Amino acid sequence: MRVSMEWLKQYLELPLSPEELAEVLTGGGIEVEGVECLNKGFTEVYIGEILDIQPHPDAQKLQVCRLNTGREELTIVTGASNVLIGDKVPVAVPGAVLPGGKEIQPVDMRGVKSYGMLCSDKELEIEAVGQERSKGGILILSPDAPVGQSLETYLGLQDSVLELELYPNRPDCLAMVNVAREAGTLLGKKPVLPEWGREEMPSWPEDVRQKVEIEDPELSWRYSALLVDDVVIQPSPVWMQNRLRAAGVRPINNIVDITNYCMLEMGQPLHAFDRDKLQGTVRVRKAKQGETMVSLDGIERKLEPDMLVIADDNGPQAIAGVMGGLESEVTGKTCRILFESAHFLGSSVRRTSRKLGLRSESSSRFEKGVNPYWTVPTLGRVAELLLELEAGVPMSFTEKVCALPPKVRIEIAVPTVNQVLGVEYTYQEIEKVFEALDFEYLKLSDCRYSVEIPSYRQDLKIEVDLIEEIARIIGYDKIPTTLPQGSQTQGCRTPEQVFRRKLRKILIKAGMNEVISYSFSNKELDDQWGSEGRNIPLLNPLREELGTMRTSLLPGLLEIASRNTARRNTDLLLFEIGNVYLPKELPLKEQPDEVSRIAGLAQGESKRHWLNSQVKFDFFYVKGILTQIAEECGMEFEYRRIEEGKYCSLLHPGRSASIYSKGEYLGILGEIYPQLDQKWDLQCPVLFELDFGALSRNANLAVIAKSYPRYPAIQRDLAVVVPEEVSAEDIKKKVMALGGEFLKEVELFDVYQGQPVPAGHKSLAFTMRYQSAERTLKDEEVNTFNSDILSGIQQEFGAKWRK
């Protein structure tokens, strides 16, 4: 919003400079982005009239002009070809200074003395305000421009403009009268607002000839119209043009300028129809399927059924709150005008504006919120200006009111104000704020008030809004500064954050890349990999294939892997740490549980290197990464065969496992079936998904320092033949249990099937490391341990020693 200081002074006495007023407004919560002086730095430039033009005696392209400047007649040589005798032009007299610091002095021009300079709009750095002939040459002013008057005064360039940075909560300050109210409140002055600035309705006869109907009361609460006869289309007076230009609006003619002027002044957008081009009843309705309209910019607009339009019996004549139609445009032949002043729902105008790609000053105001009580007073201001400018005669008025919101009343208590703001305001100080804001209030008790909020302050709804207003008007700088109280603690990460960071570092160190996928998932895939039937549907999904909240991280990883494989990036090591969403019941009655998971995917091979051979990212490679997690987090993972459940149909039976720690289920690891490979166009990826909370509960991150044993270890191998269905993991656990305190490590190093091992059996070879921290073990002791171990596994598993 551009606020002219000269315009503001019409309502309020301002002893401050523009910069000082900007500081006051910013301190009161109305941020001023910048202050612009309209005069870019010229002085001693006056309006002159060309009395005579003669060709230069010694230069073909120069002319010698004789001008009346109101003080004296001057001879000025110019090279411009667009000037004529009788033109009013800007004249920089000797001693004048132009923007950029150029000083004008008498100069000899090929034998003719030139006493000054005729100026163009570019040389003065002003907007083109003259006649059509001004383009590319000297600025030709209006024929009624007063000779001898300062150009700065004539064009209103002594004015300064404040650029307000308004937020959506203060649409009232899009009106000059409300900016005057705001400035007056902050300065402790009462603005002088004429009668049309208030909410009383003028007494016009009702127009019985023009019927108005509102067919959708939810989108339009009120439609007011003023019928004007004897319209005269002509340029606006200079003072109005100057104010419009200062506000950033280009003057066009008196009728259009009046609508723009009143919109800027009152904050109520207006539109003018050629009354004789309207047929029948004016209807505020939604567009019909297939309807079109040519807007004022000459473009045919395709209207959709949810767009609000102003229509007559022939069809749409305006897009409500956005732009009028070319068919009912006011032209130089217009004799009668119907001025529209209406309320349209901001969300409807916003949708229409976005769909059409069409924004205007009108639409931006409706989007932020327009005061429905000011439609008629704004028409009163229109009527006043029409009579003042002799542009037409207001004849009658008509309106349709469906519903107006009730006036807001807020109850507020002084103790609550002081408690919220942390100060001790007296009731007298708070009453002064209400009086400065011109809010009517009723004292309910010694410390409680009922305050009526004016219709133009739509941002004030509840008690805390009014408390904020009190702090703003008294001054935020008046609130004393206090240091925060309470015990101070050293900032640190939570145990969960520490564990999450450690897991991330372990996986990155293992060569994996972290990814972040959508929290939304495809329902079919989520049912397949997650909790079937427990996914939460979205009311407004981003895409149809992302219609539910995920219950597993695996579909997101598979999608990323598929996209990369399609682009020939086939060697992948990916992981994600994120939440899945598990409802307690469906449909939702309370917030779902957000459960943290960690998932990974591996596919392809390591990079080729001259020193090391390539490694395939298979089941055992990923199992090694998980083993690394277990070791660094002080855990032991137990891998069990997946014998039932949905993963039996998703993961390879010989290359998959459920993972446990201390008997608690953590998650799964496995290679997906070849049939699923083909569906995703992948290359045998290996997946894992673990419950982050279960991992955290079983982890032991405490660091225990131990010295290296001084005594040597003894290593022995043991090979046994067992039935094929016996698990090597079960035998390993039994060996550890039988080995006693000196058995430190057991590792499987060979699996063999074939001759001479009997059919249906397999040979398992283990290496065992014995060591004592206090002495050197003897062979006889280790032999005894080995015998006990062999005897134990023979009894439990039917194992036979393979010599």
CB atoms within 10 A of CB 286: 18
What gap in Å lies between CA 175 and CA 268, rounded to an integer?
Answer: 8
* Contacts for 154 with CB less than 8 Å, ≥ 6 apart: 47, 141, 145, 146, 238
- Measured in degrees and rounded to the nearest 5, phi and psi for residue 45 equal -115, 125
459 is in an annotated binding site: yes
Token pair recorded at residue 755 = 């001759």
**Gyration radius (Cα) of the chain, Å:** 43
Question: Which residue type, as a one-letter code, is found at position 753?
Answer: Q
What gap in Å lies between CA 229 and CA 307, rounded to an integer?
Answer: 31
What gap in Å lies between CA 532 and CA 550, rounded to an integer?
Answer: 11
What gap in Å lies between CA 387 and CA 296, rounded to an integer?
Answer: 26
Residue ranges with strand state E in 496-546: 513-514, 520-521
384 is in an annotated binding site: no
CB atoms within 10 A of CB 772: 17
What gap in Å lies between CA 218 and CA 199, rounded to an integer?
Answer: 23
* Contacts for 740 with CB less than 8 Å, ≥ 6 apart: 785
Alpha-carbon dihedral sign for residues 646, 649, 650, 653: positive
What gap in Å lies between CA 324 and CA 310, rounded to an integer?
Answer: 9
State how far the alpha carbon of 641 is from the alpha carbons of 616, 698, 729, 730, in Å.
Answer: 23, 21, 11, 12
Half-sphere exposure of residue 415, counting CA atoms within 13 Å on the CB side?
4
Half-sphere exposure of residue 84, counting CA atoms within 13 Å on the CB side?
7
463 is in an annotated binding site: no
Q: Are 561 and 601 in contact (CB under 8 A)?
A: yes
- Which residue matches tokens 């070319």? 326
What gap in Å lies between CA 439 and CA 455, rounded to an integer?
Answer: 11
* Contacts for 696 with CB less than 8 Å, ≥ 6 apart: 495, 496, 499
Q: Within its chain, how far is the Cα of 464 from the centroid?
A: 25
798: left (phi over 0), alpha (psi -120 to 50) or beta: left
* Contacts for 783 with CB less than 8 Å, ≥ 6 apart: none
What gap in Å lies between CA 244 and CA 385, rounded to an integer?
Answer: 14
Q: Within its chain, how far is the Cα of 754 from the centroid?
A: 69
* Burial class for 710, CB neighbours closer than 10 Å (0-12, 13-18, 19+): exposed
465 is in an annotated binding site: yes
* Contacts for 209 with CB less than 8 Å, ≥ 6 apart: 227, 396
Angle, vertex CA 113, rays to CA 107 and CA 115, nearest 5: 65
Residue by residue, DSSP assigns 574-641 as EEEEEEEEE-SSSS-SSPPEEEEEEEEEEESBPPP-SSS---B--HHHHHHHHHHHHHHTT---EEE-
Question: Which residue type, as a one-letter code, is found at position 651?
Answer: L
State how far the alpha carbon of 230 is from the alpha carbons of 335, 387, 627, 648, 674, in Å.
Answer: 6, 11, 92, 88, 86
Question: Which residue type, as a one-letter code, is found at position 748?
Answer: L
Q: Give the 3-state DSSP-derived string for 404-467, with helices as H, strands as E and coil as C.
A: CCCCEEEEEEHHHHHHHHCCCCCHHHHHHHHHHHCCEEEECCCCEEEEEECCCCCCCCCHHHHH
Binding-site entries for Mg(2+) = 459, 465, 468-469
* Binding residue numbers: 459, 465, 468-469
